[in-house]
A and B are shown apart, each in its own frame.
Chain A
C-alpha cells in the first residue's frame, strides 16, 4: 500500500501553508508589475533626443553649410566681376592713351593728327570719369589723384604743342624739342602706370579666382565630411539599437522575461519600441503562467485517475466498517465498536491525505524562489505520482547521492517538471517495467542532475530533436497536448538549468534535468534581475 505521500502534518499546518503560498503568489505578481513599472519610469525619465531630431539637425547643418558656400561663391563671383569690369575699363583707357600716343608720334613725325590725339585723351578721361564708381571700388576714393594728374599734364603738354595758326603763338625750335621730350616722357609714364595697374589687377584677379576655387573645394569637402559624419552617427545609432533589440529578442525567446532597462543617456523612438516590448514581455509572462498552470491541470487530470482509484480503498473500508457496525451494533461490545469507529476515522483521514496532496499540487501559485532539497522534492513528486505508478503496475526506483547542496528554485514549478517527466516515463513503460529516478551531482561543478530513466521503446533518433518543440507529440490524438516538455523546458531555463534527453530505441530513454546549486542566495537573486 502506498500511503499518502510526504506531508502528513495534519490539517492546521497545511492550511497555514496554503495561506503563505497565496501571499507569495500576490507578491510574485506584484513584483512582476513593479519591475515593469520601474523599467518604464527609467526608460522615460531620460532626456529625449529623437532620431527625427538627429536627422533634422544633420540636414539643417548640411543645409547651412550649403547656404554658406553659396553666399561665399556669390560674393566671390561679385568680386571677380568687379575686377573684370575694372580690367576692361583700364584696358579701354590704356587703348585710348596708346592711340593718343600713336597720334602724338604722327604729329612729331608728320605734324598731323594732334587733334586726334587730344580727342583720344579726352575719350580716356571720359572713360575714367564715367566709370568712377568701379575705379573707386578697386583703387579707393583717391583714384582721381592717382590717375587724373598724369592725364591732365599730358593734355596740357599736348595743348602747348598746338600749331601757332591756332594759338597765335610760335614755338621756338628748342622750346619745341623740349616740349616734345616732355610729352614723350609724360606719355610713357602714363602708359606704364596704366599697364602696371593692369598687370597688378590681373594678378589680383588670378588670386581671387584661385582663392574662390580653393574655397569651393574646401567647402564642398567640408559639406561631404559633415554629411558623412551625420550619416555615420545616425547609422551607428540605428544599427546599435537594432542589434540591441535583436539581443533582447533572443533573450526573451530563451525565456528570460526581465524587462528592458535603459542602456543610453537619452530616449528616442527606440524607447517607444522598448516600452512596447516590455508590455509584450509582461503579456508573454502572463500567458506563460496560464500555460504552465493549464499544463499543470492536465497533469492533475492524469493523476486524478490514480487518486480516484486509490480513494476506493479507504472508501471501501469505511463503507464495509460502517455497514457492519450498523448491522451488528447490538451484538458488539464497546471495544469492538471503538475499534470500528477508529477504523472509520483513520480511513477518512487517509482519504483526505490522498486528495490534499493532489490539491496542494493543483493550486495555482505565483513564482517563489527558495533553497530546495532536491531529493526531498523528488520523493514528494514520486509520491504524487504514486497512485498512477501503482495503477500502471510499474516499479519506480529512487536514489539520491548523500549530502547534496540545495538548489535555488520554485518548488511548485520544479515538481511540475519532474512529475511531467515521470508521467511520460510511465506512459513509455509497459506493465512491469522499471523507472529509475536519480539525483546526483552533475558533470559540471555547482550543478545537480536529476535523471529520469525508463525502459520503454525509446524515441526514434529522427524525432529526438523535435520533442521539446511546442505542440509536438507522439501520443495519440487527445492524449497529449505536446506542451509538457516545452513548458518544462521553459521552467528549467528560468531556473538557469536545462533539460537533456538521450534515447536508445528498444532500450529506453533518459531525461536529465541540470539545475544550478544555491551558492549565495543574494547573488542569485541579483543574477535573476540582470
Chain B
C-alpha cells in the first residue's frame, strides 16, 4: 500500500472528488477526497501526502492558505493548484509561492493524471499512467 502515491484532493465541488478518486486510483494513487478545507488541513496536520491537489478558490480557506500550510508542514509534498480562467495571475502567484504546477478548470481526468505523473517522477516514484493511456488507446 505504501508504494501507492498518497494524494489528497481538496475541492468544494463534490462531483470533482467523486470522479477523480476512481480516475486517480486507476493510475495507482491512493486518494483521500475532501470538500471542506478545515477537515483537509486537520488531516494533513496528521499525515504527509505525496501530492496535494487543491482548488484555489473556496469559501472559508482558499488554496493559497492550503499551499502555505503544506509548504510549512511537509516541504517534500507537491502541491497542484486547480484554478479558473479568470485567475491566471493567482496561479502565477501560487507558482512563485512554491506550487508544483497548476491546472485550469475545466480539465480532463487525463490532464490531472499527467500532472500527477510528473509530480510522482519529481518525487522519484513512477506511476502506471502510460498503462492507462495504452488501455484507452486500445479500447
A residues at B contact (CB < 8 Å): 1, 305-306, 308-309, 312-313, 315-321, 323-324, 327-328, 330, 340, 343, 347, 390-391, 393
Contacts and interface: CB of A to CB of B under 8 A. Distances in A.
B105 A313 contact: yes
B22 A305 contact: no
Contacts, number: 68
Q: What is the size category of the interface that chain B forms with chain A?
A: 20 to 34
Nearest to B23: A324
B87 to A, nearest CB: 7
Contact of A321 (B15, B59, B86): B15
Interface in B76-92: 84-87
Given A312-B85, A312-B105, A320 B12 contact: no
Contacts of A321: 15, 19
Contact of B15 (A330, A343, A391): A343
Interface stretch (B40-48, B106-114, B120-128): B106-114
A323 B110 contact: yes
Contacts of A315: 105-106
Interface of B: 12-13, 15-16, 18-20, 22-23, 57, 59, 62, 84-87, 105-110, 136, 139
Contact of B108 (A305, A309, A320, A391): A320
Contacts of B107: 316, 319-320
Given A313-B105, A323-B19, A340-B19, 16 more contacts: A305-B86, A308-B84, A308-B86, A309-B87, A312-B84, A320-B23, A321-B19, A323-B109, A324-B22, A327-B23, A330-B139, A343-B18, A347-B15, A390-B57, A391-B86, A393-B62
B16 A309 contact: no
Given A327-B136, A343-B15, A318 B23 contact: no
B27 to A, nearest CB: 12
A316 B109 contact: no
A446 to B, nearest CB: 40
Nearest to A327: B136
B86 A316 contact: no
Given A313-B13, A321-B15, A391 B57 contact: yes
Nearest to A343: B15
Nearest to A325: B19
A309 B85 contact: yes
A316 B19 CA distance: 11
A251 to B, nearest CB: 45
A391 B83 CA distance: 12
Contacts of B12: 1
A347 B16 CA distance: 12
A255 to B, nearest CB: 36
Q: Which of B13, B19, B139 has the most CB of A within 10 A?
A: B19
Contacts of A306: 86
Given A312-B105, A328-B22, A320 B16 contact: yes
A324 B86 contact: no
Q: Which of A309, A319, A320, A330 has the most CB of B within 10 A?
A: A320
A391 B107 CA distance: 20
A305 B12 CA distance: 20
A312 B106 contact: yes
A324 B13 contact: no
A320 B85 contact: no
A320 B84 contact: no
Contacts of B136: 327
A258 B71 CA distance: 66
Nearest to B35: A1
B13 A327 contact: no
A315 B85 CA distance: 12
Nearest to B87: A309
A313 to B, nearest CB: 5
Contacts of A313: 13, 105
Contacts of B16: 316-317, 320
Given A1-B13, A318-B106, A324 B19 contact: yes
B85 to A, nearest CB: 6
9 contacts: A1-B12, A1-B13, A309-B57, A316-B105, A316-B107, A318-B106, A323-B110, A340-B19, A343-B15
A294 B86 CA distance: 24
A271 B84 CA distance: 62
Given A320-B108, A323-B110, A309 B86 contact: yes
A52 to B, nearest CB: 67
A324 B25 CA distance: 12
